[in-house]
Amino acid sequence: MSERRTAIVTGAARGIGAAVAKKLAADGYAVAVIDLDEAACAATVDAIEAAGGAPLAVGANVADEASVAEAVERVATELGAPTVLVNNAGITRDNLLFKMTVEDWDSVMNVHLRGSFLMTRAVQKYMVEAKFGRIVNLSSVSALGARGQVNYAAAKAGVQGFTKTLAFELGKFGVTANAIAPGFIETEMTAATAARLGVDFEDFKTMAAAEIPVNRVGQPEDIANTASFLASEGAGFVSGQVIYVAGGPKD
């Protein structure tokens, strides 16, 4: 990059978001590390600074319009106009349909879908002005259907439609939009799923790996490497795509 671009990664305090933030920083971006709790971003920020990067921790609720506006304005002022956005923030509230509460449904929809919408709407003006932008949204293999995740699956399928529409609307401004759909990634979230099911996490990973063609579970860095490519100048002719990073083909 001839000049340092600014990237925003939501849900970047841990897991996939933290790995993406660190990878983009290593690629030369100034990176805004956004999470609900600004203090929780410390580990990610410290790692980026230790590697010589330029991070900024920002506490924001991506599902709240005012919070998003304030966060994006702060990033633009302190780091520079953001032209790369990774919508990674997400939560799970798993349950079978007949047990799922309206709150379980709404909270998942608000973070994944409303959050991606609000962040993208706030950032797109900087991308349009720069005639360059990269939007990377996190979907999931759960978009294809997952028992006990009717809310999460619907949200992640929604992210895919959202992504494809962004590609149509923003392409003429030099902005691409793509989605990454991870398979089984070893994170605190999958560990929590194992705990909910009453299964030892190591056994859970072993069982998962046996069903994956490359014979291992994914790591956050697997997603970070894909995000790195999609955010790059070289990915300018890739837009509106859903890339399943799952160790094998998905429908």
Q: Six-digit token pair at 36?
A: 């609900």
The Cα 166–Cα 16 span in angstroms is 23
**250 found inside a domain:** no
User: Residue 196 sits in which domain range?
Assistant: 187-217
For the record, the structure tokens of 186 come out as 């070893």
Same domain for 125 and 193, yes or no, is no
One domain for residues 122 and 155: yes
Domain shared by 233 and 193, yes or no? no
pLDDT band at 2 (very low <50, low <70, confident <90, very high): low
Instruction: Tell me, yes or no, whether 135 and 225 share the same domain.
Output: yes
Cα 160 from Cα 128, distance rounded (Å): 22
Residues 98, 34, single domain; the answer is yes
- 71/89 same-domain check: yes
Q: What are the pLDDT digits (tens) for 86-115?
A: 999 999 999 999 999 999 999 999 999 999
State whether 98 and 117 are in the same domain: yes
Backbone angles phi, psi at 199, to 5 degrees: -115, 135
Distance CA 22, CA 18 (A): 6
Count of domains for the chain: 2
CATH number at residue 48: 3.40.50.720
Q: Is the pLDDT of residue 230 over 60?
A: yes
Residue 238 domain-assigned (yes or no): yes
Domain-embedded: residue 249: no
Mean per-residue pLDDT of the chain = 97
H-helix segments, the chain: 15-26, 42-50, 65-78, 102-109, 115-130, 150-170, 188-197, 201-210, 220-231
As separate numbers, helices (DSSP H) first and strands (DSSP E) second, the chain gives 9, 7
Same domain, 148 and 202: no
pTM of the shown model? 0.97
> Residue 145 falls within a domain, yes or no?
yes
Amino acid at 39: A
pLDDT > 80? residue 217: yes
DSSP state of 246: S
**Mean pLDDT value of segment 21-38:** 98
What is the set of active-site residues?
A: 152
Separation between Cα atoms, residue 8 and residue 231, nearest integer Å: 11
pLDDT (tens digit per residue) in 152-194: 999 999 999 999 999 999 999 999 999 999 999 999 989 988 9
Cβ(200)–Cβ(160) under 8 Å? no
Q: What are the DSSP calls for 141-172, one per residue?
A: GGGG--TTBHHHHHHHHHHHHHHHHHHHHHGG
Confidence check: pLDDT of 1 > 70: no
